[in-house]
Structure 1
Amino acid sequence: MKPHPERPEPAVGAGPWETRELVRGRPAGLVSRLLAAVVDALVVAALGVLVHLGASCVVLLVTGPPFHALDLPSWVTAGGLTVLALGYAAGGWATTGRTAGDQVMGLRVCTRSGRSPGVPRALLRAALCLALPLGLLWVPLSRRRASVQDLLVSSTVVYDWSPRTPEPSAPRNPAAYGEGPGPSRYRRSPGGRNPAAYRRKKTAPPAASAQGTPPPPPAPPGNPPAGTPRHPS
């Protein structure tokens, strides 16, 4: 199988999410589809057991105790499981393109143009999967990794994990954090302090007097200032 022409091969050491993004939209391989089919078989079996127990409980309510499981003929059990499997697979492929197994393995069933297969095509594909389970072995031999069922109904199975990326947060204002042009109360100077936010106010010098009177004139030369003690010569 040649690599997809529009997507590069996953790099060595790439994380799981990077690898998933690189293979998104590529046709799924045989191993992934087999594992998805095993998960779906287990889910259908579990649903069949639940339906059987539910029918037994209804019989208990009608006929009374003791409780006993219904002993149905084999053809009734086989027919019920077939109808349950058809509804389970066709319903998942027609609505979301996925069954439980497809969701676990990151697969999606769609048409060759990438659209939903719709109810008629999904129901026919589910019937072909039950009637021809060995048709899945054609996947390694197909150039586009298609099974016999895919060739008959023009469908394909691709890797497509459901999106799990976090929702984008509201964009912040770069100027508010000092990352863009314009004034900012958080903008820091090279020394680490914001001069606009931490600038100290300069205090004015005290006035000479409350009424604004000038200071007293200096004393004349030869005479000591007032209040100076005189010493005898």
Structure 2
Amino acid sequence: MSDLVSDRLGPGTDLDSLQGQRAGFVTRAAAFVIDFLVVVAGYPAIMWGIGVLIGLVRFEQPQYPELPDGLELSISAAWTWCYFAGSWYAVGRTVGQAVMGVRVVGRGRFRVGLVRSLLRTWVMFLTLFVVGPVWLLLSTSRLAIHDRVARTQVIYERSRKRSDLRVGLGPGGTAGPQPK
């Protein structure tokens, strides 16, 4: 969930000590690979959904739609844009970032709003997802160019620990706390 071997902290570092620190290149790259797979897998699902809608409107059997290339490119770009900006706005992290235990926050560690989410995504698109990672790799502050422009940062933030409360089936099949 963290850089495998952090250059600042060394191997064997307690993951709790990373909480709130800026995430490095390795963690962010791993999160992006997961997000890339989500985006790639999501596109055919969206296209199939469009095919189902077209089939319902025309009262025909659904089939994968044959759309003009420009429209397919627009749908793909809109899906990718909505995935990143929507995730950052709604929950502060994408699926990949959740798996890697990081979150996008503002410089004051506050939640990222819609404008910052859209700006951050726009700059990522503008730099073709290449300049930002290279900038991050060379940055001592662990900020990519889209972080600098949108005034955001990616920090380690693992999910809250689960409660020690054990829940099981009680008398009559009802759920309730069980003695330890």
TM-score (norm 2): 0.78
Once residues 153 and 66 of structure 1 are traced to their aligned partners in structure 2, the CA distance between those partners, rounded to angstroms, is 45
SS at match of 1:70: coil
1:101 aligns with 2:96: yes
> What is the RMSD computed on CA atoms of the aligned residues?
2.3
What residue number does 1:53 align with? 48
SS at match of 1:68: coil
How far is 1:10 from its partner? 6.3
What residue number does 1:80 align with? 75
Once residues 107 and 126 of structure 2 are traced to their aligned partners in structure 1, the CA distance between those partners, rounded to angstroms, is 22
SS at match of 2:124: helix
Could you report, residue by residue, the CA deviation over 1:149-181 in whole angstroms, capped at 9, with x for unpaired residues? 111111111111111242479xxxxxxxxxxxx
Contact kept in structure 2, 1:26 and 1:158, CA below 8 Å: yes
1:159 aligns with 2:156: yes
Once residues 41 and 7 of structure 2 are traced to their aligned partners in structure 1, the CA distance between those partners, rounded to angstroms, is 39
Identity of aligned residues (%): 28
Once residues 168 and 11 of structure 1 are traced to their aligned partners in structure 2, the CA distance between those partners, rounded to angstroms, is 33
SS at match of 2:64: coil
Determine which structure has the larger strand proportion and give its number. 2
Q: AA paired with 1:53?
A: W
TM-score (norm 1): 0.62
Greater RCO (Cα-Cα under 8 Å, separation 6 or more): 2
Contact kept in structure 2, 1:30 and 1:137, CA below 8 Å: no
User: For structure 2, which runs of at least 5 residues remain unmatched after alignment?
Assistant: 1-5, 167-180
Could you report, residue by residue, the CA deviation over 1:195-220 in whole angstroms, capped at 9, with x for unpaired residues? xxxxxxxxxxxxxxxxxxxxxxxxxx
Which protein is bigger by CA-based radius of gyration?
1
Residue pairs, 1:152-231, within 5 angstroms: 152-167=149-164
Q: AA paired with 2:135?
A: W
User: For structure 1, which runs of at least 5 residues remain unmatched after alignment?
Assistant: 4-8, 170-233
Q: AA paired with 1:72?
A: L
- Number of matched residues? 159
1:70 aligns with 2:41: no
Once residues 61 and 117 of structure 1 are traced to their aligned partners in structure 2, the CA distance between those partners, rounded to angstroms, is 38
